[in-house]
Amino acid sequence: SSEVLEAIENVIQGVLQSLAQKKAPVLTVANRADWRNIEFKDSVGLQMIPGCTTKQIRSDCPQSARRFALMLKILSMIYKMVQSNTYATKRDIYYSDTQLFGSQSVVDQIINDISCMLKIPRRSLHVLSTTKGFVAGNLSYTEEDGTKVNCTCSATVFTVPSNVQGIKNLTSHAKFILIVEKDATFQRLLDDDFFNKVSPCIMITGRGIPDLNTRLLVRKLWDSFQIPVFTLMDADPHGVEIMCVYKYGSASMSFEAHHLTVPSVKWLGLLHFDLRRLNICKDALIPFTKQDENKLASILKRPYIACQPLWKKELEIMAASKLKAEIQVLTSLSSDYLSRVYLPNKLQFGGWL
């Protein structure tokens, strides 16, 4: 905490020095979303380069003065929380003064900018993300406040902890981790008691694009147990994008890649190859939208795809077909085909990328 307080004090000292010299104070932040500032490293994923380009948030410029003020406001809130050892979610910060901040996304962006500027992970700033992810299966752990969580004994879904860093005593006999894209598929596998029937496993869903805590938990489980991590996604560009976030990270959070990515993630399904192999009727597939075409074209240009020839081939097949499929398409074969046939066969005989 002393490191965090010192980092904030240094920023404020810079502001005061500028004012003493009758200069307009300026905050310098990295251009987080600029792909020129990001490099791909196979063992880490997308990470920010050391000498990345920056942008200035000036206090004397009409376009940025408000953002400058909001950054100082949130820095002061973080400083007080670290001093008093209290925590708040990004949502709490937004609702402390909705008129001032204007929108939740403004708060989210500023907190990420501050984390990147100070070179301190967000959770060390005492700012927690609101969790939307779920976890179930062969896993037990103790939360920071001493609450014992046992996912193993029941078909109950547990919310991903809001302070993943604080959990301890992780225990599991799982043979693998299965990341499921959507809540509906996750619930279906839970109803079918999948994590007990095939072999013990841990199931996680970020319910779409994963929040920070879900990504942190996947990374923590992989660090703790060193077991295979598989993804089960829709056979569409959106599903591929989500899988890439777990495996390689995102451009906007590349400054935290070392804590968030799991480069060993395997693409279990749903693959276009599976659709052909299982003779899924073309009428059950969905035509691409223009947005799908653009998303897939952008993914194919990313630096990590060149290192994954099998992924590249699968994506090119998807692009050529201009058709996508949801995991639910397997119910056309039988209601429990996913948990009874598809996943057990894949896990036993291979067939992942």
Q: What ranges do the domains of the chain cover?
A: 2-128, 134-349
Catalytic residue among 95, 246, 248, 304: 95
Same CATH topology for 2-128 and 134-349: the answer is no
Please report the pLDDT score of residue 230 as a whole number. Answer: 94
**Of 24-28, 73-77, 332-336, the least confident:** 332-336
Torsion 331-332-335-338 (CA) sign: negative
Q: What is the mean pLDDT of residues 30-38?
A: 76
Indicate if the pLDDT at residue 16 is higher than 70.
yes
Q: Give the chain's count of helices (H) and strands (E).
A: 15, 17
**Of 5-9, 84-88, 95-99, 250-254, the least confident:** 250-254
Q: Residue length, the chain?
A: 353
CA distance 351 to 331: 20
Indicate if the pLDDT at residue 308 is higher than 90.
no
> How confident is the prediction for the chain on average, in pLDDT?
86
Q: Which one is the CATH code of 2-128: 3.40.50.300, 1.50.10.20, 2.40.50.140, 1.10.10.10?
A: 1.10.10.10
Indicate if the pLDDT at residue 179 is higher than 90.
yes
**CATH 3.40.190.10 matches 134-349:** no
Amino acid sitting at position 223: D
36-47 pLDDT per residue, tens: 778 777 778 887
Indicate if the pLDDT at residue 229 is higher than 90.
yes
Greater pLDDT, 268 or 128: 268
Please report the pLDDT score of residue 351 as a whole number. Answer: 81
Does the predicted TM-score (pTM) go above 0.85?
Answer: no
Q: Active-site residue 95, yes or no? A: yes
Q: Please report which confidence band the pLDDT of residue 180 belongs to, taking 50, 70 and 90 as the band edges.
A: very high
Q: Please tell me the number of Cα atoms within 13 Å of 61 on its side-chain side.
A: 10
Q: Across-strand partners of 322? A: none
- As a whole number of Å, the CA-based R_g of the chain is 22
| SS3 assignment, position 76 | helix
**Of 211-215, 255-259, 289-293, the least confident:** 255-259
What percent of the chain has pLDDT above 70?
Answer: 99
Please report the pLDDT score of residue 154 as a whole number. Answer: 64
CA distance 64 to 70: 10
**Tokens 């929040």 -> residue:** 211
Long-range contacts of 306-310 (CB under 8 A, 24+ apart): 307/40, 307/42, 308/353, 310/353
